[in-house]
């Protein structure tokens, strides 16, 4: 029988009360943050990832030359509101133009040599990195995930094998914000973190795959990409309504002022002959690796500002933790973050320039290194394309036997063959003079190539992949393959 106590706060150790009482106390204290937040700090966090949203597919971005005439069609009032009331970064670089590796980098603040994710579902996240949901769960946030393509279809977010689900106590897999998710955070008695993701911007851009295949065929044959871009922009505009709905819900529940909203994307989309879609083929160009990034919390951030310095999606988590006041803790056996907090930028201060690194893999699990590696600074872009005939043969064999969307895969194959037959696998672009990345100046600037290669080697010294343990059942593998095939990935 336990000792009678007058107040739960008088308990100093479990032996002074019954086990049941101690369990009650443990649960009570678990609802409290384990850190002291700054006075103006947000209580809650929403991280929004609009899959495949280009940096210039929001009307807050004034420079939209990549879209050509279709730039005038961009209409995103809800996202514009976040930008007007928050701080927007106009040069944010994604770590990878593929969904799973990109989100692994975003969630952990690390590049691929640390998080080890390279395939869309076959390569699990390293246990030596800690994603944001695990960090905030340890600090007693309610961690929620609403992600995916359709109700019950989360693809890589649904599978515990990828690592993207790590740390989330509640997960709903759908392309829209579900009522179940809204109820969870509306009634939460403790701080909460929501990851909201949708594939609704993604190929086939609000049309049927068959209809878009015909548009792509016409664009590839005529090199007129206006209809393809129109279809994409109109679809991206429709997704803006989901952001409007989220803001409405937060206002109705009285939580908007207490909530930090971060909006970004995992990668962009090409929509031109050099890079028709995203992925390994020319996946280092601006249309694909440059994404929107907005931080919104009017109570602690002065709104209406745009930062033009180069930042990275790996900086998102360190910045969120900095705004919350969550202390950075070094853990034995854990990889340190490659990202840094952007809070000084958010406060109107400056930071020294750091390069942004990116890489991309083919869709084959057999790959043992990135197909593409690169570095992006304020003035320069360096891209290494390491294509071999073996990789092309593997890809062609697969599309001949498992082809689902014929033209889409034929376009990817043609792009790989084009890379193989170039005079140089090394591309260097002077972004000051050539923002469209049309003129390769690697031969004229060997000292710049050497300097950027040395920077890249510090993050990724040409490391090869170790053999990963895969524990997917046949049914799990088939489910993921089907969902990803429906999204246009050839697996």
State residue 471's pLDDT score.
63
Name all domains of the chain by residue range, CATH numbers in brackets: 1-30 (no CATH), 44-486 (3.40.720.10)
CA 49-274-460 angle, to 5 degrees, is 60
* pLDDT, mean of each 10-residue run, the chain (491 residues): 31 35 39 68 97 95 84 95 97 95 96 88 89 95 95 86 92 94 92 96 91 89 93 95 96 95 96 83 89 96 94 98 86 86 96 95 65 93 83 73 66 70 80 94 95 91 57 74 72 58
State residue 33's pLDDT score.
66
State residue 363's pLDDT score.
61
Tokens of 63: 């420079």
Could you tell me the sign of the dihedral formed by the alpha carbons of 132, 134, 139, 142, in that order? positive
CA count, 13 A, side-chain hemisphere, 313: 32
State residue 21's pLDDT score.
38
Q: Find the distance separating the first CA and the last CA of the chain, reported in whole Å.
A: 61
Q: In sequence order, what are the beta bridge partners of 430?
A: 380
3-class DSSP string for 346-363: HCCCCCCCCCEEEEECCC
CA count, 13 A, side-chain hemisphere, 262: 26
Classify residue 70 as exposed, middle or buried by CB count within 10 Å of its CB (0-12, 13-18, 19+). Answer: buried
Tokens of 177: 């914000």
3-class DSSP string for 317-328: HHHHHHHHCCCC
To the nearest 10°, the Cα dihedral for 286, 371, 458, 463? 160
State residue 101's pLDDT score.
93
At 468, give phi and psi (nearest 5°): -95, 145
State residue 3's pLDDT score.
34
State residue 486's pLDDT score.
75
Cis peptide bond upstream of 204, omega within 30: yes
State residue 487's pLDDT score.
77
State residue 325's pLDDT score.
93
Q: How many residues does the chain have?
A: 491
């Amino acid at each position: 029988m336990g000792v009678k106590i007058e107040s739960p706060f008088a308990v100093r150790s479990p032996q002074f009360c019954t086990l049941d009482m101690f369990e009650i106390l443990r649960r009570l204290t678990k609802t409290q943050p384990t850190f002291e937040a700054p006075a103006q700090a947000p209580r809650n966090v929403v991280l929004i990832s609009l899959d495949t949203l280009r940096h210039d597919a929001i009307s807050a971005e004034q420079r939209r030359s990549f879209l050509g005439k279709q730039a005038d069609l961009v209409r995103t009032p809800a996202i514009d509101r976040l930008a007007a009331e928050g701080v927007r970064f106009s040069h944010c670089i994604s770590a990878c133009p593929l969904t799973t590796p990109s989100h692994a980098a975003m969630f952990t603040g690390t590049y691929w040599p640390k998080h080890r994710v390279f395939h869309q579902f076959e390569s699990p996240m390293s246990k030596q990195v800690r994603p944001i949901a695990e960090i905030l769960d340890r600090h007693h946030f309610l961690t929620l995930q609403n992600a995916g393509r359709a109700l019950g279809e989360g693809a890589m977010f649904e599978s515990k094998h990828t690592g993207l689900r790590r740390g989330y106590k509640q997960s709903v897999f759908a392309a829209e914000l579900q009522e179940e998710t809204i109820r969870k955070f509306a009634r939460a008695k403790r701080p909460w973190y929501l990851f909201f993701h949708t594939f609704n911007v993604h190929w086939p851009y609000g049309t049927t795959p068959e209809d878009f295949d015909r548009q792509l065929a016409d664009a590839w044959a005529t090199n007129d990409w206006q209809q393809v871009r129109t279809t994409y922009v109109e679809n991206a505009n429709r997704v803006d309504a989901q952001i409007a709905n989220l803001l409405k819900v937060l206002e109705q529940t009285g939580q908007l002022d207490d909530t930090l909203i971060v909006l970004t994307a995992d990668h962009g989309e090409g929509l031109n002959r050099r890079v028709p879609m995203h992925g390994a083929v020319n996946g280092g160009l601006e249309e694909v690796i440059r994404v929107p990034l907005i931080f919104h919390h009017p109570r602690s951030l002065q709104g209406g500002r745009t930062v033009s310095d180069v930042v990275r999606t790996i900086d998102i988590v360190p910045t969120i933790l900095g705004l919350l006041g969550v202390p950075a803790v070094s853990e034995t056996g854990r990889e340190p973050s490659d990202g840094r907090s952007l809070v000084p930028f958010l406060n109107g201060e400056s930071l020294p320039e750091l390069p942004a690194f990116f890489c991309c893999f083919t869709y084959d699990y057999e790959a043992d290194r990135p197909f593409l590696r690169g570095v992006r600074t304020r003035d320069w872009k360096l891209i290494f394309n390491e294509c071999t005939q073996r990789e092309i043969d593997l890809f062609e064999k697969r599309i001949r036997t498992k082809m689902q969307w014929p033209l889409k895969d034929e376009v990817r194959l043609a792009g790989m063959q084009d890379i193989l037959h170039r005079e140089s696998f090394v591309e260097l672009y002077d972004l000051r003079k050539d923002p469209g990345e049309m003129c390769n100046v690697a031969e004229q600037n060997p000292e710049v190539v050497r300097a950027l290669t040395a920077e890249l080697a510090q993050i990724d010294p040409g490391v090869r992949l170790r053999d990963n343990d895969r524990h997917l059942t046949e049914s799990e593998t088939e489910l993921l393959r089907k969902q990803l095939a429906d999204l246009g990935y050839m697996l």
